Amino acid sequence: MTESILTVAGLNASIEGQQVVEDVSFEMLPVGVTALLGRNGVGKTSTLRAIMGLIERSGEVTIAGERVDREPTHRIVQRGVGYVPEDREVFASLTVNENLRLAERDSTPNRQLIEELFPDLIARAGQLAGTLSGGQQQMVSLARALVNDNRVLLVDEPTKGLAPLIVMDVAKALERAAQTVPVLLVEQNLQVVRMLADKAIVLEGGRVVYDGSAEELLGNEALTKELLGVA
Amino acid sequence: MSTIILLLITGLGLGALYFLVASGLSLIYGLMGVLNFAHGSFLTLGAFAGWELSRRMGGESWGTLIASMLLGMVVGAAVAAATEFLLIRRLYNRHIEQVLVTVGLALATVALFEGIWGTDPIYVTAPPWLSQTTEILGARVPNDRFLMIGAAVLVLLGIVAFLRYTRFGLIIRAGVENRSMVTALGIDVRKAFTVVFAIGGAAAGLGGVLASHYFGYVSPQLGGSLLIFAFIVTVIGGLGSLAGAAIASVVVAILQQFANYFWGGTGDLMVVLLLAVVLLVRPTGILGKKA
């Protein structure tokens, strides 16, 4: 049996006293892409933020067998968790290069991988990140996570609001990244999920209602419609 | 014409003092969202530390003045860093408690300073050149104004260089924009908090020594009186904006000087009116960012 890279057990989270994640438990494969799916507002983003320690939470979170749920966010990241937030959250007043430098956790960053995946960013190294297009900002956000050697990558809606052509670029970059690091992906675009995900976890009302093969879920139109509201 | 020149340069000197206090306030608020009402205490303690050194070494030499400025900075930085580490760190995102603790600390330290150094102003001695004047376009400008202006410019350039060319500076600039994302990149932003408090405290400590020469005395209330205008400057400049604080310091101080001279001592009133106008027309301040 393959040991999971990320285990979540009985995770609860709240924002300003309002419970947004309720007793969520799942395991994540140590390879490839695991998709975290669900209708709008079911707690997907909150689950990622709770794993990262960015919101108040309880329950167990284990990375490669080590409990991290009592640790502050920066320690969780230092243990090898890369995080690409929803809405990108690049530092608008810093240049592309400064955004990357800030993210580098050691003296041997994966600049070669960044150059390979996002050659456009290298050309725009001195440009303020706030002046980039949405797609380019997403590249910066992904590059910040990929510039370090991580054990797992949490990626939140990377194609949200992007043009179809850019969506495919982002998907290809994620596909390439997933060859070196397992990815937990929150994504609304089922075409991207079909292309990338091996496993799917579906949340409803803050709880897990499906945990299995992504192919089987998306191959079953009735189940997909029932759980995700789309086919 | 000579009066205008005198008021302008005197205003710049006063603005320099405001900037030395406001720069720390602005950085601290920008990164941490903390309104630090105890900031004036760092200034007062820096001023007393400088005076203590000056009276032991003999206050009329340039060496003593420079040593007292350096000591003021070190004392201000150390006390500010200790304040952050011991008191403020436990209260991030608890704004009411922050206000209570920093106001309480400000009141307690004034009482402590009064207990140690008494309530009366203590007059300071300085190199004779500082009490002389220099003629510029017919205006006889007190030389100490040039010291204030030079020190503030050096502090501004130093902070800008620190923010632009060091990793801590990069973290602070990013943290002012989005603190939680800095943490999500694996950076312990609390270290940056302590560094920012120390920088603000050092600027305030230096401002304390210079203020004691500007006003000619040091007293336990010195920091409190300058802090009020530093807060006004910080709000007008835009909370979190160093450049905004620099611009607003100059504008506020020059307005104050001109109003005091031409409109019968209404300088303080004009500054408050300017604050009201800025809050009505541009609530985020001159260079502040929208929330």
- Helices of type H across chain A: 44-51, 73-78, 96-103, 111-117, 119-123, 134-146, 164-177, 190-196, 214-219, 221-228
Cα-based angle A113, A115, A116 (whole degrees, multiple of 5)? 65
Nearest Cβ partner of A73 from B171, B177, B183? B183
Residue A206 in tokens: 């803050």
Yes or no: say if A63 and A24 are a contact pair by the CB < 8 Å rule: no
Q: How many CB atoms lie within 10 A of CB B1?
A: 8
* pLDDT of B93 over the 80 cut: no
Cα-based angle B241, B245, B249 (whole degrees, multiple of 5)? 170
Output the pLDDT for position B31. Answer: 79
Average pLDDT of span B234-263: 94
- The pLDDT-based confidence of A2 (bands split at 50, 70, 90) is low
Instruction: Give the DSSP letter of residue B120.
Output: S
Output the pLDDT for position A231. Answer: 62
Tens of pLDDT, residue by residue over A176-188, are: 999 989 999 999 9
For A78, nearest residue in chain B (alpha carbons): B186
Q: Min CA distance, A75 vs chain B (Å)? A: 6
Q: Which of B76-80, B129-133, B174-178 has the lowest mean pLDDT?
A: B174-178
Looking at residue A114, its amino acid is I
Helix (H) or strand (E) holding A35: strand A33-37
**Would you kindly state where each structural domain of chain B is located, as residue ranges?**
2-281
For B168, nearest residue in chain A (alpha carbons): A102
Q: Within the 111-130 window of chain A, which residues sit less than 8 Å (CB to CB) from chain B?
A: none
Instruction: Transcribe A43-69 into DSSP letters.
Output: SHHHHHHHHTTSSEEEEEEEETTEE-T
Output the pLDDT for position B154. Answer: 95
For A106, nearest residue in chain B (alpha carbons): B186
Inter-chain residue contact B185 with A77, CB threshold 8 Å: yes
- The pLDDT-based confidence of B122 (bands split at 50, 70, 90) is very high
Q: Please give the model's pTM, rounded to 2 decimal places.
A: 0.85
Average pLDDT of span A18-40: 91
* pLDDT of B58 over the 90 cut: no
- The pLDDT-based confidence of B290 (bands split at 50, 70, 90) is low
Q: CB of A85 within 8 Å of any CB in chain B?
A: yes
Separation between Cα atoms, residue A40 and residue B64, nearest integer Å: 67
Average pLDDT of span A114-128: 92
Q: What count of CB pairs under 8 Å joins A to B?
A: 53
* pLDDT of B210 over the 90 cut: yes
Tens of pLDDT, residue by residue over B134-149, are: 999 889 999 999 999 9
For residue A83, list chain B residues with Cβ-Cβ distance below 8 A: 184-185
Q: Please identify, in words, the CATH class of the domain defined by B2-281.
A: mainly alpha
For residue B186, list chain A residues with Cβ-Cβ distance below 8 A: 74, 77-78, 103, 105, 148
Output the pLDDT for position B76. Answer: 97
For B175, nearest residue in chain A (alpha carbons): A91
Tens of pLDDT, residue by residue over B13-55, are: 999 999 999 999 998 888 788 889 999 999 999 999 999 999 9
E strands, chain B, are 122-123, 133-136, 139-142, 217-218
> Which value, in Å, is the radius of gyration of the alpha carbons in chain B?
19
Separation between Cα atoms, residue A5 and residue A85, nearest integer Å: 20
* pLDDT of A68 over the 80 cut: yes
Output the pLDDT for position B208. Answer: 96
Q: CB of A56 within 8 Å of any CB in chain B?
A: no
Instruction: Give the DSSP letter of residue B106.
Output: H
Average pLDDT of span B66-81: 97
Output the pLDDT for position B222. Answer: 94
* pLDDT of A42 over the 80 cut: yes
Average pLDDT of span B111-121: 96
* pLDDT of B291 over the 70 cut: no
A108 or A151: which carries more pLDDT confidence? Answer: A151
* pLDDT of B77 over the 90 cut: yes
φ/ψ (deg, to 5) at B123: -80, 140
Q: How many CB atoms lie within 10 A of CB B165?
A: 9
Separation between Cα atoms, residue A66 and residue A188, nearest integer Å: 30
What percent of chain B is modeled with pLDDT above 90? 81
Q: Min CA distance, A74 vs chain B (Å)? A: 4
Output the pLDDT for position B254. Answer: 96
Inter-chain residue contact B177 with A92, CB threshold 8 Å: yes
Q: CB of A149 within 8 Å of any CB in chain B?
A: no
Separation between Cα atoms, residue B49 and residue B116, nearest integer Å: 12
Place of tokens 């060496």: B63
HEC profile of B8-53: HHHHHHHHHHHHHHHHHHHHHHHHHCCCCCCHHHHHHHHHHHHHHH
Residue B152 in tokens: 């503030």
Interface residues from chain B to A (CB-CB < 8 Å): 167, 170-171, 173-174, 177-178, 180-189
Separation between Cα atoms, residue A33 and residue A56, nearest integer Å: 26
Separation between Cα atoms, residue B72 and residue B209, nearest integer Å: 6
Inter-chain residue contact B173 with A78, CB threshold 8 Å: no
Place of tokens 């902070």: B159
Yes or no: say if A122 and A97 are a contact pair by the CB < 8 Å rule: no
Output the pLDDT for position B129. Answer: 93
- Which of A73, A81, A26, A74 minimizes the C-alpha distance to A50? A73
Looking at residue B127, its amino acid is P
Separation between Cα atoms, residue B215 and residue B202, nearest integer Å: 20
- The pLDDT-based confidence of A156 (bands split at 50, 70, 90) is very high
Average pLDDT of chain B? 93
The residues pairing with A35 across neighbouring beta strands, listed in sequence order, are A185, A200
Q: Which of A58-62, A107-111, A151-155, B95-99 has the lowest mean pLDDT?
A: A107-111
- Which of B98, B103, B118, B145 minimizes the C-alpha distance to B48? B118
Separation between Cα atoms, residue B254 and residue B29, nearest integer Å: 25
Average pLDDT of span B210-222: 94
For residue B188, list chain A residues with Cβ-Cβ distance below 8 A: 72, 74
Return all residues near B48 (Cβ < 8 A) that are at least 6 apart. Answer: B113, B116, B117, B208, B218
What percent of chain B is modeled with pLDDT above 70? 99
Residue B29 in tokens: 């608020």
